[in-house]
Structure 1
Amino acid sequence: MRRQLTFAIGIIIVALAGVIYTITSGNEPLLGLDLQGGASVVLEPEPNEDGSEISDEVLDQAVDIIRNRVDGLGVREPEISRQGSTILVQIPGVEDQQRAIELVGQTAELRFRPLLQESVAGSPFAAANIALCAPESAGDEEALAGLYTEPTPDADADECMVAVDRAGLGIQYLLGPAPLLVDQQANPGARLTGEVLETAAARLQLAEWVVNISFRSGSPGIDDFNALASECSRGTQVCPPTGTSPATGAFVGRVAVEIDGIVESAPTVGISNFERGQVVISGGAMTERVAKDLALVLRFGSLPVELTPQESRIVSSTLGEDALDAGIVAGIIGLALVSVYLLVYYRFLGVVAIASLAVSGALLWTMISWLGESQGLALTLAGVTGLIVSIGVSVDSNVVYFEHLKEDVRSGRTVRSAVERAFPIAFSTIVKADVASLIAAVVLYFLTVGQVKGFALFLGLATVLDLIATYFFMGPVIRGMARRESMSSHPKRFGIPFVDAQTSQVSS
């Protein structure tokens, strides 16, 4: 008896301690995308031009880069995972959902290109400048007039291109090819792209947001940028003069920082030699958000494959709150109906069953809050559904025990004897039933993706805690009650049938 009392008191203390710890430490369940709002997108890789299959290594690298970009947004516990050949990105709690979706899938191939000419959109470029890109058509005015009339964002690094301005002001740029790297022996055919960068950071400089770039040493790195800077500072044919140096007033060339057909900045280059961390992208009235987005994309590199959104979903915070409220209401209603049923049918035994639910619920809340705070386990709507279903699993455990107990009493056993005999048999049945639920939960968790995993995880967790509460609380408490005279003399108060010792007549 003392051992049973120790079990019951011990688990109550553990449950209360968990609740107190959770409240005092400020832990709370981490809500998933569908409960707090956010953005979700499924990204599908574009096929390779040569028809070759996209490897798992390329997709894994894309997942890592996207995860770094999302982490840079300051989002708490996003989910980035592969689903076969697609990539699922779920970003809960982000305020600007559309911006987040665009940012994570941006290929972001940065190239440093010489600026050949800047003009208003719709105005033709000078034939002399077009001839620099198409020397085979030099002198043929008609042929040159038909070239580079529209933006060409898909142009390769070794081709000229027409790019547009980032701010959408109707400006277009004729850009030359990204120059070859200085060290062609080590990098044959490689050109001046974002691979030469080491890091990038946005900062406020003289009331203007800029992006400070740090290059790698040597080549690929600062040596390659300085080679282009040398051409632009001298205004050569590779980088003709299109601007004025603010330091000397001389006509010098400009370097365009181009990303996916958009010119982020096109500063004049008046000197031919820079230090690794001396280059700054500025101009265009860059806002804080634009500067930070640009630095984020540059810092974590370009994706190794082009990704297109296959399916995107934006959940507003209001809709998430509505879903959470609906889940809470459903849980409360379900719990209330179950409690009424237990009280009407099992009376004081029903009170014990409800107390057992409270104990397992306190333990479950403590664990969910701790896992959300320390491990990033998010509670989704599917998880809430799993928790609601687990109420039924817990009630089944109580019903199995109570019905075994009533059956033994009907068979002529005393209440105390029936309690002692029924619990081991009933608990064995409960374990077998719960193990079946656990097997289903484990299979669902490991063989499915997305929200089904959340349903399986929380259902499995609640099932385990139900076994603990049944063994350490419900069983010991009912055994303790059976030792009191009131349970034997007034069994109907506990939902147990009364058996007349003389007539063996059973009354409920």
Structure 2
Amino acid sequence: MAPPTSSQIKPGRTLLVLLAIILAMGATIALQKAFVPKFGLDLAGGTTVTLSPVTTDGKAPPQESLDRAVNIIRDRVNGTGISDAEVARSGDNIVISVPGAGRDEAIKLVATTAEMRFRQVLAVAAATTPPTTLPTTAATPSPSAVTPSTGTSPAGRALSKALAEPTPTPTVTRRARSHTATGEKTGAGTRAKATPSPTPSVAPSEEDPLAGQDLSGIDPAALQKFRTIDCTAKNRGQGAQDDPNKQIVACSQDGSARYILDKAAVQGSQITTASAGVRQDTGEWVVNLDFKSQGASQWSDLTAKAFGAQPPRNQIGVVLDGLVITAPASNGRIPGGKTEISGSFNQQSATELADQLKYGALPLKFVQSSVVSVSSTLGQDQLRGGLVSGAIGLLIVMLYLLLYYRGLGAIGIASLGIATIVTYFSVAVLSANVGFRWSLPHIIGLVVSIGITADSFIVYFERIRDEMKEGHRTLRAAVEVAWRRAKRTILVADAVMFIAAVVLYFLAVGGVAGFAFAMGLTTLIDIVVVFLFTKPLMSLAARMKFFSKGHKLSGLDAERMGRTNSGAEHLQEA
């Protein structure tokens, strides 16, 4: 017999690739302790929030605005379509059902308006007892960065500490590939170094927090509100719908500072994308923003204008829902529209801010009219019933494969077992990382996929038998020739199924979208299993005498293949 060729060794390597994938998924599940997928609203219950719109004139809100709000909230709580959250209109109200207990972060996300504006700071003071001095920092001018200036920033204590350290925070940085002589090159681009300088500080008196500051061009009504605003109050103006065409008075997010801010120079609608990430040089969490062309031009003008002003007017206030989340000082013009916001962020706060900006601002202001916990509508009995039905269907398919294909059926059963393992691991990993929740529609989609997966094996097995009957080929030759023809049929069938799942996923919402996701997922898994397991295992089986000699239990015996014994002997390999 000729020595094995490279093509004959390949099946073993392919099986090792599949084994590596399964082990990697298992290790991920073990590290994240995600052994059991999360359940959806119908199986685990959750929280229902009813939002009622509030209009300035007290009239009913426009229907277009309500529809837009429903779409935005649906994107926020179920952006991927697989978390099983439900958003629907009930009259003029919006009802949001979020699966799982204690989903406070999701409730906070759907209730916020996420209106972001960028405004030049006109005046600033401490929220309570005015400080004796307001220290500032001076930075080497650079066209690529914005760095903090005053100690009375929205980062509060974090900024006070930063002013005493070589690298102050927060900063807003232009993400670029080049760097200037005064900057330091980082993974995100260029970041100018801010260095403390004995710049004369603003010193308001105890009686007037605005003493010593330039008050030219400030609306008298804003001055009066600034002196009386209480930033220590619980709400501090959270969710206020500020007029972008007017000067406003706002508190910092942590309640440590109060600001007078100029008219909005750049609005949040000019943001193209927003994402949370980690800066490579410092390891701190940041939010990256990309502006549209108009917003990029406006942002460039704003940073240039602030750079030429005296403190605190060299600061730019980033206002979200009526609160100043950060107010860095301009250190030069930032062209291009690629900006990085950093400060006292952790992973959760950076991700929440990025999500709010990415999914857009609500066109209306809403109040929570009710928040109630709901029990599961199906519960463990229905979950058990769904799993039992899936197990029964899988068992019937296995019995059919054994009775009809005998030895070949064992290969099909092994393939189904691998597909089951990969499917469960995939569900567990998705549940832990992208919010996938196991609901009844998902289970239905997974059960239906059993037949789809079995179809691929049957197509391949039948093609092998046809090649041996009609082509009078040996088993080894039939396995390879049949695969070249069967894989086209398998790919076309799976492609049709996957396209149907994708179309259904994007056109539907709720449970139907969940069903489509599960069906598309298992279709991809079917391709992986057939290519990386079934075919290589069949190639290895063709070398075994049990199959190649046509044993009666192999499913390839002479009687079953419609050949005479002499013909069978003629086709046996040496």
Deviation per CA, 1:176-211, whole angstroms, max 9, x where unpaired? xxxxxxx8845999xx999995747xxxxxxxxxxx
Q: Does the alignment pair 1:360 with 2:435?
A: no
Other-structure match for 2:41:
33
- The answer to whether the 8 A contact 1:438-1:460 is kept is yes
Per the alignment, in what secondary structure is the counterpart of residue 97 of structure 2?
strand
> Of the candidates 533, 537, 556, which is equivalent to residue 477 of structure 1?
537
Q: Cα distance 1:21–1:215, how it changes in 2: closer, same or farther (>3 A)?
A: closer
Conserved? CA contact 2:411–2:537, under 8 Å: yes
Report the Cα distance in structure 2 between the residues aligned to 1:377 and 1:402, rounded to whole angstroms.
35
The residue aligned with 1:380 is 439
Distance in 2 (CA, whole Å) between partners of 1:39 and 1:356 is 40
Q: Does 1:321 align with 2:384?
A: no
Moved more, 488-497 or 467-476: 488-497
- Aligned positions of 1:18-417 closer than 5 A: 18-23=25-30, 25-28=32-35, 29-40=37-48, 50=59, 53-56=62-65, 59-60=68-69, 79=85, 87=94, 89-94=96-101, 185=221, 199=235, 217=258, 304-305=364-365, 316-317=375-376, 319-411=378-470, 412-417=472-477
Separation in 1, partners of 2:29, 2:469: 45
Q: Letter of the aligned partner of 1:370 in structure 2?
A: V
Structure 1 contact 11–473 (Cα < 8 Å) conserved: yes
Q: 2:372 and 2:483 mapped to 1: Cα distance?
A: 50
Alignment partners' CA distance in 2, 1:186 and 1:331? 66
Pick closer, same or farther for the CA change 1:58–1:432 going to 2, 3 Å.
Answer: closer
- The one-character-per-residue Cα deviations of 1:217-256 (angstroms, maximum 9, x if unpaired) are 3789xxxxxxxxxxxxxxxxxxxxxxxxxxxxxxxxxxxx
Task: Answer whether contact 1:63 1:82 (CA < 8 A) is retained.
Answer: no
> TM-score, length-normalised on structure 1?
0.53
Q: Deviations over 1:312-359 (max 9, x none)?
A: 997524842222212211111111111111111111211111111222
User: C-alpha distance in 1, partners of 2:375/2:494?
Assistant: 37
- Report the Cα offset of residue 463 of structure 1: 0.7
Partner of 1:9: 16
Deviation at 1:387, TM superposition (A): 0.7
**Are the equivalent residues in 2 in contact too, given 1:18–1:362 (CA < 8 A)?**
no
Q: What letter corresponds to residue 436 of structure 1 in structure 2?
A: V
Q: 1:421 to 1:309 in 2, by over 3 A?
A: farther
The offset of 1:476, in angstroms, is 1.1
Q: Please state whether the residue corresponding to 2:258 is helix, strand or coil.
A: coil
Kindly indicate whether the alpha-carbon contact (under 8 Å) linking 1:105 and 1:308 is maintained by their aligned counterparts in 2.
Answer: yes
Task: From the superposition, tell whether residues 39 and 481 of structure 1 become closer, same or farther in structure 2 (CA, over 3 Å).
Answer: same
Q: Does the aligned pair in 2 maintain the 1:386–1:455 contact within 8 Å?
A: yes
Amino acid at match of 1:79: A
1:415 Cα deviation (Å)? 2.5
How far did 1:66 drift? 12
Instruction: Report the residue type matching 1:488 in the other structure.
Output: S
CA distance in 2, matches of 1:419, 1:9: 20
- Counterpart position of 1:444: 504
More helix by share: 1
* 1:432 positional shift: 0.1
- Aligned mates of 1:193, 1:59 — CA distance in 2: 33
Structure 2 Cα separation of the partners of residues 307 and 81 of structure 1: 16
Counterpart of 2:550 in structure 1 is 490
Mapped contact 1:198–1:215 kept (Cα < 8 A) = no
Amino acid at match of 1:347: R
Q: Distance in 2 between matches of 1:58 and 1:186?
A: 35
Which residue matches 1:426?
486
Asked if the contact 1:37/1:92 (under 8 Å) is kept, the reply is: yes
Tell whether the 8 Å contact from 1:67 to 1:80 is kept in structure 2 after alignment: no
Query: Quick one: distance in 2 between partners of 1:494 and 1:421?
Result: 20
SS at match of 1:90: strand
Change (3 A) 1:63 1:478: closer
**Take 2:46 and 2:408, find their aligned partners in 1: how far apart are those partners?**
45
CA deviation map 1:257-287 (0-9, x unaligned): xxxxxxxxxxxxxxxxxxxxxxxxxxxxxxx
Change (3 A) 1:487 1:14: same
SS at match of 1:30: coil
Alpha-carbon distance in structure 2 between the residues aligned to 1:58 and 1:198: 31
Percent sequence identity is: 32
Structure 2 unaligned regions, length at least 5: 1-7, 114-218, 237-253, 262-355, 357-361, 569-574
- AA aligned to 1:30 is K
Deviations 1:435-478 (A, max 9, x none): 00000010011111111111111111111111011011101111
Structure 2 counterpart of 1:482, one-letter code: A
State the distance in 1 between where 2:497 and 2:516 align.
10
**In 2, Cα distance between the equivalents of 1:340 and 1:10?**
29
Q: Tell me the distance in 2 between the aligned counterparts of 1:50 and 1:326.
A: 49
Aligned-partner SS, 2:96: strand
Q: Which runs of 5+ in 1 are unaligned?
A: 71-76, 108-182, 201-212, 221-299
Instruction: Output the CA distance in 1 between the equivalents of 2:14 and 2:59.
Output: 68
Structure-2-length-normalised TM-score: 0.48
Q: Which range moved further: 25-34 or 431-440?
A: 25-34
Q: If you compute each CA radius of gyration, which structure gives the higher value, 1 or 2?
A: 1
How far apart in 2 are the matches of 1:65 and 1:5?
46
Letter in 2 for 1:389: V
CA contact 2:65–2:363 (8 Å) conserved in 1: no
Shift of 1:305: 4.8
Q: Supply the distance in 1 between the matched residues of 2:483 and 2:500 (Cα, whole angstroms).
A: 25
Does the 8 Å contact 2:69/2:363 carry over to 1?
A: no
